[in-house]
Every structure is written in structure tokens, then in C-alpha cells.
Structure 1
Amino acid sequence: MPVDAREYAAALGQYAAGVCLLTVQDDIDDVGTTVSSVMSVSASPPLVAVGLTAGGYPAEVLEEVGRCALTVLATEHAIVASRFSSAGRPSARHLLEAVPWTRAAGSGAIVLEAGLAALDCRLERLVEAGSHVLAFLTVEDVPVVNPDARPLLRLRGRYVDESGRPLARP
């Protein structure tokens, strides 16, 4: 018997996941998207996997450019995560007007200075996986590490702090 899509989504919603911002700089603009499907694949070589919507613009631009950055978001970035998860969003730079950021040396992609960490990456390959693609990324640099920052998590469809409490609206 096939699994009910709502039950499947509800079950996976019970799993708290860190929230990241994936950014790509191409010749035209900066593109970004919120992602919570990120996992460490290998320490040697340093490799991570990120789930992206198949056929989505971020996956398309990443495939074309071949480089990106991932910022692990802090609780203070809940509004940033919401902005980058919305459809029809403008340029990444416009969504970050009041947020301190810099560019990663290798990819030139935006990284948030107050994130928990940031990874400067090169695309190894994209693998089709149902309605998504897995982007396997080689980590070439770690331009940001803030061990005292508080993590932003996604749990039961909401952004929460490390204790699981929903974050107050700004």
C-alpha cells in the first residue's frame, strides 16, 4: 500500500534539522535558497550533500556555475530563512540588505558573517532523487565559524531554537 503523502510529511516534520542558506553567484546576479536537507558525506575529502528541488532555478544555476556557498544559519536568521524559501524572490543581495555578509573566496557566493559556519564549495555532481536532486559538493574552504552562535532549526514546519521552542516574530 502506498504511503500517504501527508503522513510522510508529518512523520519527517518530527525530525529537527539545521537550516542553511545556499547561494550561487552567476554572471547576472546572486541566487539563494533555504535548505534543510544537508548532510555530511565524507571528511576526506570533505564532501556534503544538499537536497534541492529538481528543475528549480537554484539547482539550474548551481549546475551551470559549478560553485556555491552554504551558510549554517543562526536563530537570528529566521527571517532570512523565510525570505529565501518564498517563491518569486528577488536577488539575494536585496533580501540581505540589513544582514552583514561577505563573499566566499573561491565561489564568490554570499556567506553570512553571523552564521554558525559557512562552506565554500565546488559541485561534484547532481543526482536525480524523485522530486529533488542531490548536489554533492566538495568543501574547498570554511570562511566562517562562530561556535557561540545559536542554531536555527526546522521542526514540525516551524523555525525553532535549539530547545525546540518556536522563535518569536521580529
Structure 2
Amino acid sequence: MYPADRARFREAMARLGAAVNIITTHGPEGDNGFTASAVCSVTDDPATILVCMNRTSSQYEIFKSAGIFCVNILTPEQEMLSPVFAGKMTMQERFAHAEWIRLATGAPVLEHAAAALDCTVSQMVDVGTHSVMFGAVQAIHLGKSSAGLIYHGRAYHKVSVPG
């Protein structure tokens, strides 16, 4: 029996492949965004998705007060955006690396994302160090590429559609 300590848990999660996403919002502070892999579909009726965000993040209060977010699912060609949105650049510098459009909520939508889910926050639940934001999907943008980008084993991997 091995303890479920933080280090072992993080190692186990490194072995769980996850899609790479840029989560964006818009509020009085302007556009804001971060990289996340802790994203999951909840239900398709009504269309709902969840995103986990660390409450110690400097962006946490901005997202909480905005009440909207967009999950931008990255393609392999957009891999370079992941470290950009996870890094220390200003928001203006981050958003300058890609082309953005707006849908129903006004949150930035990555124009060439594999898909983007534009959401209003329907509920937030605190669990440990994070908040789980449940998003009621208001609009969906489907990109031209359906190839995916996952993070697994502390590295990026391309997921191609057969055919």
C-alpha cells in the first residue's frame, strides 16, 4: 500500500493524458487567459463543461467576477500557445500570439481552435486548492482542424483523426 501523497498523485496525473486548452474571459480588466488541462464535459443536455482553476492564481478573482469563460481546445499547430498562456507575459502579449473572435458572451475565442465553447458560469464549487467552474455553453465555434493536442507524460502529443 502506498500513500496518496501529493508527489504520487501528481505522478499519477502525469500518466493521464488530457486535452490542452486555453481558458479565456473578458471583464473590466480586459481579456484574460490561462492554460488548462483540467477540463471535462459534464452533460450534453443542457450542454455543460467544467474547468478547474487554482484559487491562488493571480487571475482567479478576475475569472470569478467575470462570470463567463471560453474553453479553446488547441490543435497541434497551436502547441506554442500553451506555454505562452501558462507563462509570465502580460495579457496583451499573450493575446497578440493568435487571432481572436467573439461569440455570445464576449470572451475571446481562438479563431483557429479545434473547437471553442463559450460559456456563462452556472456554478462554482471549491475543492481543496481549486475551484471547479461549471459552464453553461452558450455558443460553439468549430475550427477547420479536428486534430487534437494532448499533454501526457509531461510532454505534448498530437492526436490525429483516422482517415
TM-score by length of 1: 0.86
Richer in strand (by share) = 2
Contact kept, 8 Å, 2:105 with 2:138, in 1: the verdict is no
Contact kept, 8 Å, 1:62 with 1:123, in 2: the verdict is no
Q: Deviations over 1:87-143 (max 9, x none)?
A: x3311x422324222122x2211111111100110001211111111001100111x
Which residue pairs with 2:143 in the alignment?
Answer: 146
Distance 1:149 1:43, change over 3 A: closer
Aligned pairs (5 A) from 1:101-120: 101-104=100-103, 106-120=104-118
Which amino acid is 2:157 matched to? Answer: V
Q: Distance in 2 between matches of 1:12 and 1:150?
A: 23
**Equivalent position SS for 1:57:** coil
Gaps of 5+ in 2: none
Contact kept, 8 Å, 2:19 with 2:37, in 1: the verdict is yes
Which residue pairs with 1:14 in the alignment?
Answer: 15
Q: Distance in 2 between matches of 1:148 and 1:64?
A: 33
**Equivalent position SS for 1:10:** helix
Aligned Cα root-mean-square deviation (Å): 1.7
Which amino acid is 1:131 matched to? Answer: T
Contact kept, 8 Å, 1:20 with 1:73, in 2: the verdict is yes
Q: Distance in 2 between matches of 1:112 and 1:148?
A: 13
Aligned pairs (5 A) from 1:1-170: 2-86=3-87, 88-91=88-91, 93-104=92-103, 106-142=104-140, 144-146=141-143, 148-162=145-159
Contact kept, 8 Å, 1:38 with 1:48, in 2: the verdict is yes
Gaps of 5+ in 1: 164-170
Q: Distance in 1 between matches of 2:23 and 2:128?
A: 20
Q: Distance in 2 between matches of 1:68 and 1:50?
A: 9
Contact kept, 8 Å, 1:75 with 1:150, in 2: the verdict is yes
Which amino acid is 2:96 matched to? Answer: E
The CA deviation at 1:55 is 3.2
Which amino acid is 1:34 matched to? Answer: T
Q: Distance in 2 between matches of 1:147 and 1:10?
A: 34
The CA deviation at 1:70 is 1.2
- Which segment is superposed worse, 69-78 or 147-156? 147-156
Q: Deviations over 1:136-165 (max 9, x none)?
A: 1100111x21363321110011222127xx
- In the alignment of these two chains, the number of paired residues is 159
Contact kept, 8 Å, 2:27 with 2:66, in 1: the verdict is yes
The CA deviation at 1:63 is 1.4
